[in-house]
C-alpha cells in the first residue's frame, strides 16, 4: 500500500477500505454471454445434489461464515428466473425463456446490489 | 491432528497465499500448525517473509531441521501427489485426528486436482479458492462434473483477489455466491500489498498491517477454527443469517 494511502487510513482510524461504486443498472446492461452459457450447463446442478448430501449428513457442524449469502439453492434460483414483470418488459427484444432467465438473474443481482450485498 | 486442505480451481487463484494466512490465523487461535506444501515449484516461504532461495525441509525431516516462522512448522513433500501411501503416512504421523493440538494445512496446486480429490475425504476441511473471473467460472461445470458429490459437499469456497471496483468482478462474485450458497466462507479483496510484501521479503502483517486482503484472509482462517473439532468427517460452512455476518467491510 502506498504510504500516503496508509497514512490517510490511519488518520481515519480505519484498518481497511472497500471501494463501493454506484449501483449498477443491470436492467440497462447487455447480459454477459458467459453467464447465460453457464446457466444452460446442466453440470452446474451437481452443486445442488451435493447440497442434498450435506443436508443428509448427521449433526450440523458449527458454523461461522464470513460473508453474507442468500442461502438459496441453485435450482430454486433457476426456478425463479423468468418470473416477474421485467421478464416480459417492453424493450426486451430477446424473447425466449432462457434469455428471460438470465434477465431475471441480472435483476436478482441488481436487488443484491441495492441491498449492498454485491 | 486435523488436516485442512486448500486447493484452487485454476492456477494463480491465490491458494498458496490463502493457505499461508489460514495457517497463521489458526496458529493465532492457539493451534499448533504445520504447513505442508506439495508444489514442485513452491512459493509458500515467500508468504512467511522468507528468502526466495529457501527450500523447505521434508515432512519426514527431523525436528532439528525444522523451519519455524511464528511457531508454524513449514514442510514440503513434492512426491506426495504421486505417492499412494501419502494418506496412510499422514495417519501414521498422527494427523487426521481432531483437536487443536496439531493441525496440518496442505496447500495443493490447482494442477494436482487428482491428489486433492484423494485427500479431501480425510480432511476436516476442504477449501477451494476461486477468482471472480469469467475464465474461472467457465471451468466450474467441468470441475463439478468431475468431483464426487461427497467431495463437493465437503468443500467450502473462498473468492480471492476480488476487485469490487470492477463490474464484471462483482457480477462474477455474485454468480459464485448464488452457486455455492452456504459454502462460501468469504472473500478476500484484491490488494496490491500482497505482492508488495513478497517483494519486501516481509510478512504481509508486518509490511501492511492495514491491508484489506490481510483482514479478509484472517477472517477466513478464523472461520475455520470450528473445523478442527469435527471428528471423522469434513466440516462444511453451512452459513448463518446475514445478520451474523461480522467481518464485512463497511
Ligand atoms: N488478494 C490478493 N491480492 C493481490 N494479489 C494476490 C492476492 N492473492 C494472491 N495474490 C497474488 O497472486 C499470485 C498467485 O497467488 P498464489 O501463488 O497463491 O496462487 P496459487 O493459487 O497458489 O497458484 P497454483 O494453484 O498454481 O499453485 C501471487 O503473486 C500472489 O502474490
Ligand atoms: Mg500455489
Cell of B58: 521434508
Complex-level ipTM: 0.81
Distances (CA, A) of A68 to A72, B21, B187, B241: 12, 21, 10, 8
In a domain, A90, yes or no: yes
| Angstroms from B22 CA to nearest CA on chain A | 13
C-alpha distances (whole Å) from B151 to each of A33, B125, B145, B169 are 29, 10, 11, 27
CATH code of the domain covering residue B30: 3.40.50.300
Task: Look up the domain containing B227 and give its range.
Answer: 3-234
Mind listing the pLDDT tens digit of every residue in chain B (250 residues)?
A: 789 999 999 999 999 999 999 999 999 999 999 999 999 999 999 999 999 989 999 999 999 999 999 999 999 999 999 999 999 998 888 777 766 678 999 999 999 999 999 999 999 999 999 999 999 999 999 999 999 999 998 999 999 999 988 889 988 998 998 888 888 999 999 999 999 999 999 999 999 999 999 999 999 999 999 888 875 566 776 654 333 333 333 3
User: Is B56 contained in some domain?
Assistant: yes
Q: Strand B72-76 to strand B125-131: parallel, antiparallel, or no bridges (unpaired)?
A: unpaired
> What is the reported pLDDT for A79?
47
Ligand 2 ion: Cβ-proximal residues, 5 Å cutoff: B 15-16, 109
Q: Residue B139 domain-assigned? A: yes
Residue A62 in any domain: the answer is no
Contact B156, B181 (CB under 8 A): no
Provide the whole-model pTM: 0.80
Q: Which of A97, A86, A98 is nearest to A25 (CA)?
A: A86
A10 lies in some domain: no
List B129's β-bridge partners, or say none.
Answer: B8, B158
**Domain carrying residue A45:** 25-56+68-118
pLDDT confidence tier of residue A58, bands split at 50, 70 and 90: low
Which strand ranges, in their side-by-side order, compose the sheet holding B72-76?
B67-69, B72-76, B33-37, B103-108, B3-8, B125-131, B155-162, B184-189
* Ligand approaching nearest to the C-alpha of B112: 1
SS3 at position B73: strand
Of B179, B215, B226, the CB nearest to A16: B215
- The answer, for A79 touching chain B at a CB cutoff of 8 Å, is no
CB-based contact (8 Å) between A10 and chain B?
yes
pLDDT in tens, B116-172: 999 999 999 999 999 999 999 999 999 999 999 999 989 999 999 999 888 899 889
Task: Name the one residue in this structure whose C-alpha cell is 488518520.
Answer: A11
Q: Note whether B144 contacts A: Cβ–Cβ < 8 A.
A: yes
User: Of the spans A38-52, A58-72, B167-181, B204-218, which averages the highest pLDDT?
Assistant: B204-218
Q: How many separate domains does chain B show?
A: 1
Tell me whether residue A2 is in a domain: no
Helix runs in B29-166, H state only: 44-47, 86-92, 113-119, 134-146, 149-154
DSSP H helical ranges for B80-211: 86-92, 113-119, 134-146, 149-154, 167-180, 193-199, 204-207
In a domain, A39, yes or no: yes
A17 inside domain = no
DSSP structure class, residue B127: E
Residue A33 within a domain: yes
DSSP-derived letter for residue B49 is T
Give, rounded to a whole angstrom, the gap between the first and last alpha carbons of chain B. 36
Q: Total domain count for chain A?
A: 1
Domain-located, residue A44:
yes
Q: Inter-chain contact A19–B227, Cβ cutoff 8 Å?
A: no
Structural domain contains residue B76: yes
Q: Is residue B241 part of a domain?
A: no
Cβ–ligand 1 distance for B198 under 6 Å, the answer yes
Q: Verify whether ligand 1 is closer than 6 Å to residue B190 (CB atom).
A: yes
Question: Which of B180, B192, B215 comes nearest A1 by C-beta?
Answer: B192
Chain A residues with CB under 8 Å of B137 CB are 34-35, 38
Amino acid at each position: 500500500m502506498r504510504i500516503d494511502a496508509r497514512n490517510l487510513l490511519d488518520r481515519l482510524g480505519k484498518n481497511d477500505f472497500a471501494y463501493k461504486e454506484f449501483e449498477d443498472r443491470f436492467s440497462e446492461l447487455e447480459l454477459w454471454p458467459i453467464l447465460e452459457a453457464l446457466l444452460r450447463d446442466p453440470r452446474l446442478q451437481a452443486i445442488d445434489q451435493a447440497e442434498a448430501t450435506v443436508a443428509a449428513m448427521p449433526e450440523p457442524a458449527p458454523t461461522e461464515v464470513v460473508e453474507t449469502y442468500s442461502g438459496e439453492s441453485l435450482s430454486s434460483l433457476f426456478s425463479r428466473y423468468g418470473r416477474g414483470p421485467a421478464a416480459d418488459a417492453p424493450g426486451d427484444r430477446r424473447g425466449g425463456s432462457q434469455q428471460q432467465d438470465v434477465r431475471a438473474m441480472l435483476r436478482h443481482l441488481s436487488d443484491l446490489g441495492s441491498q449492498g450485498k454485491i | 491432528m486435523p488436516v485442512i486442505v486448500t486447493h484452487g480451481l485454476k492456477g494463480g487463484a491465490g491458494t498458496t497465499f490463502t493457505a499461508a494466512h489460514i495457517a497463521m490465523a489458526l496458529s493465532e487461535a492457539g493451534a499448533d500448525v504445520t504447513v505442508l506444501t506439495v508444489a514442485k515449484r513452491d512459493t509458500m516461504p515467500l508468504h512467511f517473509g522468507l528468502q526466495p532461495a529457501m527450500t523447505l525441509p521434508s515432512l519426514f525431516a527431523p525436528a532439528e531441521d525444522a523451519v519455524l516462522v511464528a511457531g508454524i512448522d513449514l514442510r514440503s513433500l513434492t512426491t506426495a501427489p504421486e505417492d499412494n501411501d501419502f494418506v496412510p503416512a499422514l495417519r501414521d504421523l498422527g494427523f487426521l485426528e481432531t483437536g487443536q493440538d496439531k493441525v496440518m494445512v496442505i496447500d495443493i496446486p490447482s494442477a494436482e486436482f487428482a491428489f486433492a480429490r484423494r485427500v479431501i475425504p480425510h480432511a476436516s476441511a476442504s477449501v477451494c479458492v476461486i477468482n471472480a473471473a469469467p475464465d474461472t467460472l467457465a471451468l466450474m461445470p467441468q470441475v463439478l462434473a468431475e468431483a464426487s458429490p461427497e467431495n463437493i459437499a465437503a468443500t467450502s469456497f473462498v473468492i480471492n483477489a476480488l476487485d469490487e471496483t470492477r463490474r464484471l468482478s462483482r457480477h462474477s462474485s455474485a454468480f459464485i455466491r448464488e452457486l455455492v450458497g452456504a459454502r462460501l466462507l468469504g472473500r478476500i479483496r484484491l490488494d496490491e500489498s500482497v505482492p508488495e510484501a513478497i517483494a519486501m521479503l516481509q510478512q504481509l502483517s508486518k509490511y501492511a498491517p492495514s491491508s484489506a486482503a490481510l483482514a479478509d484472509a484472517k477472517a477466513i482462517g478464523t472461520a475455520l477454527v470450528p473445523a478442527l473439532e469435527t471428528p471423522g468427517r469434513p466440516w462444511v460452512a453451512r452459513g448463518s443469517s446475514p445478520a451474523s455476518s461480522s467481518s464485512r467491510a463497511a
